[in-house]
Amino acid sequence: MPWKLKLKPNGGTPLYRQIESSIRTAISRGQLNPGDRIPSVADLASELKINKLTVHKVFQRLEKAGLLHSEVGRGTFVAANGCAPADSPNGGPAAAAAAAVKPEVARSVRRLREGYAGGLRQLLAIERRPGTINLAGGAPSPANIPAGLVERLTRKVFKKNPARIYEYSAPGGMPELREALCQRLARRGLSVTPDEIIVTNGSQQAISLTAAWARDDGRDAICETPTYTGVPGCMMLFGHAVQSVPWENGAPNLDLLRSLATGRRVVFYLCPDFHNPTGQSLTAAARHELAGWARQNDALVIVDEIFREMRFEGEEPPSLYSLLPPGRRVMVGSISKSFMPGLRVGFLAADRVLAGELVPYKRYMDVGGPSLTQALAAEFLRDGYDQHLETIRAMYRERRDAALAALKEHMPASVTWTRPQGGFQLWVTLPRQISSLQLFLNAIEQGVSINPGPAADIDGRYLNCFRLGYGCAAPDEVRIGVARLGEIVAKLAARGAEESSGLGITL
């Protein structure tokens, strides 16, 4: 075969991209012709001294583009119509035509969603009067941070080689923080090395990096719903036409997920531990079932574990990340959610090959995270973080208990809610004729703030639901706030169908 593949291991282009480009070029130049047999995954990986998963990914991409085809027992061959230009990422004319339509549809859907989300943001930004009880919060309260803690950590950081704080950190993150994170994960039963960790500016950037890579890898995005809409939002920003799979009976609808993923290479995002916004956690059985689906469908799964360490009761199920097939999994974590959002220290963990492919995205996105905040996080993980977790777990449990007792006492019998075993939020479901947007507006007038259900879905569903965040309010405030909400819900229920049309907002 006249075609010879050469790699540049130290170049800026990922290895799988170099292999794919070389095969495309060979086909376009006639060095590889229709019917020619390509070396097997194992042979090519052995010859190039690289991971077989990297070669497997290339073959999958080229098969999807129509350039290669595989025959069981015979091998992989150049397809009969394998004539795409070397630089075309999508294959022949038919694929190019499809690609020309799909982005436009995706842009139209994104504009529609952004318009809706923008209007909803304006509604939710209504000014709160002083003393409003915050039951909308989805982040830790500043009151959870002991006075002087950050100052103490800063002094300790600057006693240890302060010059490192003045310099750029490595794109993957400061070595001392990556090492501290590996030790932390090892205590949770996960074997991760420092080169499999990328420190990010909050967990949002971790998801953004993966979304950008997945788009480049030709994967379609699927996201759980309800969810934190910043996740599908950033996926759409990178060109994904996001589809949603709803949580039903304490887990994403796996039948629908299978249906959406049939015949497609997908990336699927979910938050399996104290899920935002419902507070629910996947059972061990559901985790194994989801892992089995991922294994059978070449799916990349983004596992958001930012709340996992906030468990205050119940038995801890296995980490979903540990169950997923190596090379097709990303775990997202954060120090911000368990400590303080302003620190902006998140991270992702991925198997070595995938992590190596994600590092250039981080490098070109921001060069590297702030050295000072990374050093603060590393110091806190080594000294004080365990005690802090114990404190906030006890605090959130007390507030959760206050919320559950108040809901039971003050809500009509037709209202239901989840019972989280950790984290700082739960999900309330109202009778179908009651709008949570109407409840939100009435509650603001009564000095209580909630997060209505449509704010947790990119298509504005869950109109009769809301997230109740108990983490930012003291137990007495939680009880008072829920009592006021109960009075409003009772009045709205009494009106019957008056608020059942449209968005159910009466001004």
Taking only the tens place, the pLDDT of each residue in 101-115 is 356 666 777 788 888
Q: Is the pLDDT of residue 505 over 60?
A: no
> Among 345, 340, 352, which Cα is nearest to 370's?
345
Mean pLDDT of 155-174: 89
Q: Is the pLDDT of residue 205 over 60?
A: yes
Length reported for the chain:
507
Helix H or strand E segment including 197: strand 197-200
Contacts 24+ apart (CB under 8 A), 17-25: 19/44, 19/48, 19/54, 19/55, 19/58, 20/58, 20/61, 20/62, 21/86, 21/87, 23/58, 23/62, 23/67, 23/68, 24/62, 24/67, 24/84, 24/85, 24/86, 24/87, 24/88, 25/86
pLDDT score, position 86: 37
Higher per-residue pLDDT: 97 or 1: 1
Mean pLDDT of 212-232: 94
> Among 444, 446, 404, 445, which Cα is nearest to 427's?
404
- SS3 string, 48-72, reads HCCCHHHHHHHHHHHHHCCCEEEEC
Q: Is the pLDDT of residue 342 over 60?
A: yes
Mean pLDDT in the chain?
87
For residue 235, give Cα distances in angstroms to 138, 198, 280, 353, 371. 21, 19, 23, 22, 27
Give the whole-number percent of the chain exceeding pLDDT 70.
Answer: 90
Q: Is the pLDDT of residue 62 over 90?
A: no
Q: Is the pLDDT of residue 3 over 70?
A: no
Q: Is the pLDDT of residue 362 over 60?
A: yes
Q: How far apart are CA 201 and CA 208, in angstroms?
A: 10
* Domains of the chain as residue ranges with CATH: 15-78 (1.10.10.10), 113-142+387-499 (3.90.1150.10), 146-385 (3.40.640.10)
Q: Is the pLDDT of residue 243 over 80?
A: yes
Q: How far apart are CA 476 and CA 131, in angstroms?
A: 13
pLDDT score, position 301: 98
Select the highest-mean-pLDDT range: 83-87, 358-362, 408-412. 408-412
Q: How confident is the model at residue 98 (pLDDT cuts 50, 70, 90)?
A: very low
Token pair, residue 105, equals 């549809």
Question: In angstroms, how far is CA 258 from the centroid of its own chain?
Answer: 19
pLDDT score, position 143: 78
- SS3 string, 213-225, reads HHHHCCCEEEEEE
Q: Is the pLDDT of residue 87 over 80?
A: no
Do residues 347 and 304 lie in contact, with contact meaning Cβ atoms separated by under 8 Å?
Answer: no
Mean pLDDT of 28-39: 82
> Among 323, 325, 319, which Cα is nearest to 271's?
319
pLDDT score, position 21: 81
Mean pLDDT of 180-200: 95
Comparing 339-343, 359-363, 495-499, the range with the smallest average pLDDT is: 495-499
Mean pLDDT of 116-129: 84
Higher per-residue pLDDT: 178 or 140: 178
Residue bearing tokens 């109202």: 430
Q: Is the pLDDT of residue 259 over 80?
A: yes
Q: What is the DSSP string of 140-184?
A: --GGGSPTTHHHHHHHHHHHS-GGGGGSPPPTT--HHHHHHHHHH
Q: How far apart are CA 140 and CA 356, in angstroms?
A: 32
Q: Is the pLDDT of residue 93 over 60?
A: no
Higher per-residue pLDDT: 77 or 206: 206
Look up the pTM and report it.
0.78
pLDDT score, position 102: 54
Using DSSP, state whether 4 is helix, strand or coil.
coil
pLDDT score, position 474: 94
Higher per-residue pLDDT: 506 or 494: 494
